C-alpha cells in the first residue's frame, strides 16, 4: 500500500502544521446548523493537508464523506447530478455526512458552463457541511463562491513539519536514519507532504535504508531536481560552453532561476572579487530582463540566459571544491504571500465597492480609511463586518 494512504491522518490531531485551520473545520462541522455560511473554502499550496484534513474530520466525527473532483464535474448539469441530491438526502448509514469538492481550481469560470453558479445554489440549500479545496481562492471567477463560504487558509509546511511526519513513518516502519536525512527530504519536497512521503517510500523500497547517498541517488523531484543540476553546472564549471546549457531543461522560468542563483551564490563563491563579478552579471541580466519585458522584445532573453549562466560561471578565478547544499530562495515564498495579500485586499475592496456603489479601483485607493476604522472603532467595525458579510480572514486583514 502506498504510504500516503497507509499513514493518512485518522483524526485532525494527526494533521501536522495546520492547527488553526483544523480547529476552524471542527467547529464548522460540529456547529453547522448555527453557521450562517454553509461551506468552507480551504486554500493554500498543493500537498499541505487540505484534502486529508477533510477525510480526517469525517473519520473523527464518524461521518460519511461524499467526494467529487471539480475537474470531473465541470458543468451545471454534472454538478447538480453529483452534488444536488447528496447535499439534501440523509446519509445511507444515518451518521450524517460532509461534502468535499476537491481541486475546485479545475472549474471553468465561463458563464455558459454555469459550474460555479450551480455550486453557489447548492451551498444555499445544503443540509450538510461543504468543503472545497483550492490553491488560489482570490481568482476573479470565485468571487461568488467566496461570498458564500468561509475562507480557511492552509499555510505552506516548513521542512521541519515535513520531517516530523516522516519521522513518525520511520518509527512505524522500523527505519533507522539520522534526523538530518529527514530534514533534507523535507527541504527537497518544498513543503509538499505527499511528495516527501512518496520519496521516502521510493528510497526505502529501492535500497532498504535511508542514507544521504540513497537520497542523492533518487535526485530532486521535478520542480527542484533540474534547477539543482543547473546550479551545479553554473557554480562548479568555468567552461562557458557547459554553463550556458545549464538551464535548458530546467522547469523554472528565468526569473525564478535568477532568484535561485542569487540565493546560493554567496554560499558558493567565497572570494569577494569572484562574488562581485558574478553579481555584476546578475545585475546586468536583471536590467536586460526589465527592458525586454517593457518593450516585449522576447528574442533578447537569450542574453539574460547567457549572463546568469556562462557569465556567472566565468566570474570566478578558480573552481570551488567544497560541497554546498543548495536551497530555494525565501523570496519566492515572500512574493507568493505578497500576491495573496494583494488579492485579499482586492476581494475586500470589491465587497465595499458593491455596498457603497463605487468602483473597485477607487475603493482600493481608499481602503486604508476602513483599516483605520477597524483598528480604532470596534462598534463601527462590527457593524461594517455584518453589513458586508466579511469573513474572519477579511476582518483580520483590515485590523492588521
Three-state secondary structure call for residue 396: helix
309/248 Cα distance (integer angstroms): 10
What are the residue boundaries of the structural domains of the chain, listed by start? 3-153, 159-218, 222-322, 332-399
In the chain, the DSSP E strands lie at: 39-43, 64-69, 97-102, 130-134, 150-153
- Which class does domain 3-153 fall in? alpha beta
pLDDT at 109 over 60: no
H/E element, 356 = helix 330-356
Q: Spell out the residues 6+ positions from residue 201 whose beta carbon is closer than 8 angstroms to its own.
A: 2, 3
pLDDT digits (tens, 9 = 90+) for 31-64: 998 998 999 999 887 788 899 999 999 999 999 8
The answer to which of 18-32, 113-127, 191-205 has the lowest mean pLDDT is 113-127
Mean pLDDT over residues 252-266, rounded? 87
Identify which has the larger pLDDT, 163 or 327: 163
pLDDT at 28 over 90: yes
pLDDT score recorded for residue 23? 94
Share of the chain above pLDDT 70, in %: 88
pLDDT at 390 over 90: no
> Cα 325 vs. chain centroid, distance in angstroms?
24
Per-residue cell: 1? 500500500
pLDDT at 223 over 60: no
Per-residue cell: 366? 481608499
Partners of 132 in the β-ladder = 41, 101
Taking phi first (over 0 means left), then psi (-120 to 50 degrees means alpha), and beta for anything else, what does residue 101 get?
beta
pLDDT score recorded for residue 111? 45
pLDDT score recorded for residue 147? 86
Identify which has the larger pLDDT, 43 or 79: 43
pLDDT at 279 over 90: yes
Mean residue pLDDT of the chain comes to: 84
The model's confidence at residue 126, banded by pLDDT at 50, 70 and 90, is: confident
pLDDT score recorded for residue 225? 45
pLDDT at 347 over 80: yes
pLDDT score recorded for residue 342? 80
pLDDT score recorded for residue 274? 96
54/380 Cα distance (integer angstroms): 35
- Is 159-218 a domain of CATH 1.10.8.60? yes
pLDDT at 307 over 90: yes
Per-residue cell: 310? 556562462
pLDDT digits (tens, 9 = 90+) for 172-187: 999 888 888 898 888 8
48-64 burial, b at 16+ Cβ within 10 Å, e below that, comes to: bbbbbbbbbbbebbebb
The model's confidence at residue 326, banded by pLDDT at 50, 70 and 90, is: confident
Distances (CA, A) of 221 to 192, 225, 250, 264, 312: 11, 5, 12, 19, 25
H/E element, 182 = helix 179-188
Identify which has the larger pLDDT, 110 or 183: 183
The answer to which of 11-15, 218-222, 280-284, 376-380 has the lowest mean pLDDT is 218-222
Partners of 41 in the β-ladder = 132, 151
The model's confidence at residue 113, banded by pLDDT at 50, 70 and 90, is: low
pLDDT score recorded for residue 112? 38
Amino acid at each position: 500500500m502506498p504510504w500516503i494512504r497507509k499513514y493518512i491522518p485518522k483524526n485532525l490531531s494527526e494533521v501536522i502544521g495546520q492547527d488553526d485551520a483544523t480547529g476552524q473545520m471542527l467547529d464548522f462541522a460540529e456547529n453547522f446548523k448555527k453557521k450562517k455560511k454553509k461551506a468552507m473554502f480551504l486554500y493554500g499550496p498543493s500537498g499541505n493537508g487540505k484534502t486529508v484534513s477533510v477525510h480526517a474530520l469525517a473519520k473523527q466525527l464518524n461521518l460519511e464523506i461524499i467526494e467529487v473532483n471539480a475537474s470531473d464535474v465541470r458543468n451545471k448539469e454534472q454538478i447538480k447530478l453529483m452534488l444536488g441530491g447528496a447535499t439534501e438526502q440523509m446519509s445511507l448509514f444515518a451518521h450524517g455526512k460532509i461534502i468535499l469538492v476537491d481541486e475546485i481550481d479545475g472549474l471553468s469560470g465561463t458563464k455558459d458552463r454555469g459550474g460555479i453558479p450551480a455550486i453557489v445554489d447548492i451551498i444555499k440549500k445544503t443540509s450538510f457541511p461543504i468543503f472545497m479545496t483550492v490553491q488560489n481562492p482570490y481568482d476573479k471567477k470565485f468571487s461568488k463562491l467566496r461570498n458564500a463560504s468561509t475562507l480557511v487558509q492552509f499555510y505552506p509546511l516548513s521542512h521541519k513539519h515535513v520531517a516530523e511526519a516522516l519521522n513518525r513513518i520511520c518509527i512505524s516502519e522500523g527505519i533507522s536514519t539520522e534526523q538530518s536525512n529527514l530534514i533534507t527530504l523535507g527541504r527537497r519536497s518544498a513543503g509538499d507532504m505527499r511528495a516527501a512521503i512518496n520519496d521516502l517510500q521510493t528510497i526505502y523500497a529501492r535500497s532498504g535504508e535511508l542514507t544521504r547517498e540513497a537520497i542523492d541517488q533518487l535526485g530532486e523531484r521535478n520542480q527542484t531536481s533540474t534547477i539543482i543540476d543547473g546550479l551545479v553546472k553554473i557554480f562548479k564549471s568555468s567552461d562557458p560552453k557547459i554553463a550556458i546549457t545549464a538551464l535548458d531543461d530546467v522547469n523554472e522560468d528565468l526569473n525564478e532561476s535568477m532568484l535561485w542563483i542569487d540565493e546560493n551564490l554567496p554560499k558558493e563563491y567565497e572570494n569577494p572579487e569572484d562574488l562581485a563579478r558574478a553579481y555584476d552579471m546578475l545585475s546586468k541580466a536583471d536590467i536586460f530582463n526589465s527592458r525586454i519585458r517593457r518593450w516585449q522584445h522576447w528574442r533578447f532573453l537569450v542574453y539574460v540566459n547567457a549572463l546568469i549562466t556562462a557569465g556567472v560561471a566565468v566570474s570566478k578565478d578558480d573552481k570551488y571544491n567544497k560541497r554546498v547544499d543548495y536551497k530555494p530562495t525565501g523570496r519566492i515564498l515572500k512574493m507568493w504571500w505578497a500576491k495573496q495579500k494583494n488579492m485579499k485586499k482586492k476581494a475586500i475592496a470589491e465587497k465595499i465597492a458593491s455596498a457603497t456603489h463605487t468602483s473597485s479601483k477607487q475603493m482600493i485607493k481608499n481602503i486604508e480609511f476602513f483599516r483605520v476604522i477597524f483598528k480604532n472603532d470596534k462598534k463601527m467595525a462590527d457593524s461594517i463586518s455584518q453589513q458586508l458579510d466579511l469573513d474572519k480572514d477579511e476582518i483580520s486583514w483590515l485590523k492588521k
